[in-house]
Amino acid sequence: MKADFWHERWQNGQTGFHRDDVNPYLIRFWDDMGAHRNSQVLVPCCGKSHDLVWLAEQGCRVTGLELSPIAVREFFEINEIEAVVEEVEGGRCHTAGPIRIYEGDMFHMDLSCIGTVDHVYDRGALVAMPPDMRDQYCARIRALAPAASTLLVTLDYPTEEMDGPPFAVTEREVRKRFNKENIQCVYCEDILEEDEFFRARGLSRLDEAVYIIK
C-alpha cells in the first residue's frame, strides 16, 4: 500500500490490527527461535505493538521499523518510556534502552547502521504488502537481515471474497519466497469463528498460520 494509506489509518484511528496484549504466538513460539540474550530482533512494520516490550523483556535488543509518527509516539507514551531521538536519512531513530524504533518508510530510510540482525519477527508486515510490493519487501528484509531466522505470522483467505489489507499469503508463497531449507509451519488454524470483523467482510475462511524459518 502507499504510505498515505497507512498515515490515514493511523490518523483516523483505524488500527484494528493492534492488539492490547502480547501476541500469543510470539509467547508460544519464541523459545523455538533459539534467541540468546542480547540477540537483535528486527520487527518490520511494528506499529505500536506490545510485542516490542515483551521481546526486550526476554533480553533481546529490539529494532522496530514504522512509517507512522503517530504509532511511534503512542508506543512510547503508552509504555511511559522516554526515547532519545536522532535524525537519520529519510527518518528518525528513537532509542530507549534495548528498544529502538526507526520512524519512516522502511524502503527509503537509511538503515545501514542497524548492525547484525539475528531474528526477524513479522506479524502484520508481509500481509500488509500487496502482491506487487512483496518482492521489494522480501529483498529489503534479506538485505537488512541476511542470516536471520524468522518468526512469521500470516493470514490466508479466498482472495475473491475480500480486498486487503491484510493480504492473503499462502504456505506455497512462503516456501517460494523464503527459499530456505528449514521452513516449518508450526501452527495453522481457521480463526474466522472468533473474528466478527472478518466474518462481516464476507470471508468464508481465515487461516492464521505461524512459520519458523531458519
Ligand X SMILES: C[S@@+](CC[C@H](N)C(=O)[O-])C[C@H]1O[C@@H](n2cnc3c(N)ncnc32)[C@H](O)[C@@H]1O
Sheet of 84-88: strand order equals 84-88, 91-96, 99-104, 61-66, 40-44, 119-123, 149-156, 207-213, 183-190
**Helical axes 69-78 vs 3-11, angle rounded to 10°:** 40
Regarding 150 and contact with ligand X (CB under 6 A), the answer is no
Q: Are 137 and 150 in contact (CB under 8 A)?
A: no
Q: Which stretch binds ligand X (CB under 6 A): 28-36, 63-71, 185-193, 202-210?
A: 63-71
| Position among 123, 148, 150, 168 found at the interface with ligand X (CB under 6 A) | 123
Q: Which stretch binds ligand X (CB under 6 A): 53-61, 65-73, 143-151, 181-189?
A: 65-73
Q: Which stretch binds ligand X (CB under 6 A): 41-49, 74-82, 187-195, 200-208?
A: 41-49
Regarding 76 and contact with ligand X (CB under 6 A), the answer is no
Q: What is the DSSP letter of 165?
A: S
Give the total of residues touching ligand X (CB under 6 A): 18
- Compute the distance between CA of residue 90 and CA of residue 144 in angstroms, rounded to an integer: 16
- Compute the distance between CA of residue 208 and CA of residue 192 in angstroms, rounded to an integer: 9
Judged by CB, which is closer to ligand X: 182, or 212?
212
Q: In whole angstroms, how close is the CB of 166 to ligand X at the nearest point?
A: 6
Regarding 47 and contact with ligand X (CB under 6 A), the answer is yes
